[in-house]
Chains A and B, each alone.
Chain A
Amino acid sequence: MKASDLAPAYDLVVIGGGPAGLAAAALAARAGLSTVLFDENPGVGGQIYRAIASSPVADRAVLGEDYWVGSDLAVEANASPALIVTGATVWSLDPSRVVGVSIAGQARLIQAGRVIIATGSLERPFPVPGWTLPGVMSAGGAQTLLKAQGLVPGGRTVMAGGGPLLWLLAAQILRAGGKLDAILDTTPRGNWLRALAHLPDFVLSPYFSKGLKLLREVRAKVRVIRIDRLQAVGDDRLREVVFGTGEGERRMPADLLLLHQGVVPNVNLAIAAGVAHAWNERQLCFEPVLDQDFETSVRGIAVAGDGAGIAGGTAAAERGRIAAIAAVRALKPEALVPDVQTVRQRLQRESMGRAFLDWLNRPADSFRQPEGETIVCRCEEVTARQVRDTADLGCEGPNQMKAFLRCGMGPCQGRLCGLTVTELIAAQRGTTPAEVGYYRLRPPVKPITLAELASLPIAEAERKAVER
Chain B
Amino acid sequence: MFKRLADAGVAVAITVDGKHVGARSGDTVAAALIAAGIDHCRTTPVTGAPRAPYCLMGVCFECLVTIDGVGSRQGCLAPVRDGMTVETQSGKREAGR
Contact = CB atoms under 8 A, between A and B. Distances in A.
Direct contact of A and B (CB under 8 A): yes
Interface of A: 40-42, 47, 50-51, 54, 56-58, 87, 89, 105, 122-123, 132-138, 140-142, 144-146, 148-155, 176-177, 236-237, 255-256, 266, 378-381, 410-412, 415-416, 446-447, 449
Given A41-B57, A133-B50, A410-B61, 10 more contacts: A40-B58, A42-B79, A145-B31, A149-B27, A151-B3, A237-B39, A237-B50, A378-B60, A378-B62, A416-B55
Contact of B28 (A42, A446, A447): A42
Contacts of B40: 134, 236-237
Contact of B54 (A41, A138, A148, A176): A138
Contact of A381 (B8, B49, B72): B49
A150 B49 contact: no
Contacts, number: 138
26 contacts: A41-B77, A42-B77, A50-B57, A58-B6, A87-B77, A122-B55, A123-B55, A134-B51, A134-B52, A136-B54, A141-B53, A141-B54, A144-B56, A148-B28, A148-B31, A149-B31, A151-B2, A151-B35, A152-B3, A152-B4, A153-B1, A154-B2, A155-B1, A266-B59, A378-B62, A379-B61
Among A87, A145, A155, A415, chain B packs the most CB atoms within 10 A around the CB of A145
Contact of B52 (A47, A137, A145): A137
A134 B59 contact: no
Nearest to A50: B57
A380 B64 CA distance: 14
Interface in B30-50: 31, 34-35, 39-40, 44, 46-47, 49-50
B59 A154 contact: no
- The SS class assigned to the A binding surface is loop
A123 B56 CA distance: 11
Contacts of B51: 132, 134, 378
B18 interface: no
B72 A447 contact: yes
B39 A150 contact: no
- The SS class assigned to the B binding surface is loop
B8 A56 contact: yes
Interface in B1-39: 1-6, 8-9, 24, 26-28, 31, 34-35, 39
Contacts of A449: 70
Contact of B6 (A56, A134, A137, A145): A56
B48 to A, nearest CB: 10
Contacts of A380: 46
Contacts of A123: 55
Q: List the 6 closest A-B pairs by CB distance, nearest first.
A: A56-B8, A134-B52, A141-B56, A154-B3, A150-B5, A411-B61
A421 to B, nearest CB: 16
B58 A41 contact: yes
Contacts of A149: 4, 24, 26-28, 31, 35
A269 to B, nearest CB: 12
Nearest to B77: A40
Nearest to B5: A150
A315 B6 CA distance: 33
A311 B55 CA distance: 21
Nearest to A42: B79
B39 A134 contact: yes
Given A40-B77, A122-B57, A56 B2 contact: no
Nearest to B3: A154
Among B6, B50, B58, B79, chain A packs the most CB atoms within 10 A around the CB of B58
B68 to A, nearest CB: 10
A428 B58 CA distance: 31
A451 to B, nearest CB: 8
Contacts of A236: 39-40, 50
A381 B44 contact: yes
A138 B62 CA distance: 12
B1 A154 contact: yes
Contacts of B64: 411
Contacts of B35: 149, 151
Interface string B66-84: 0000101000110100000
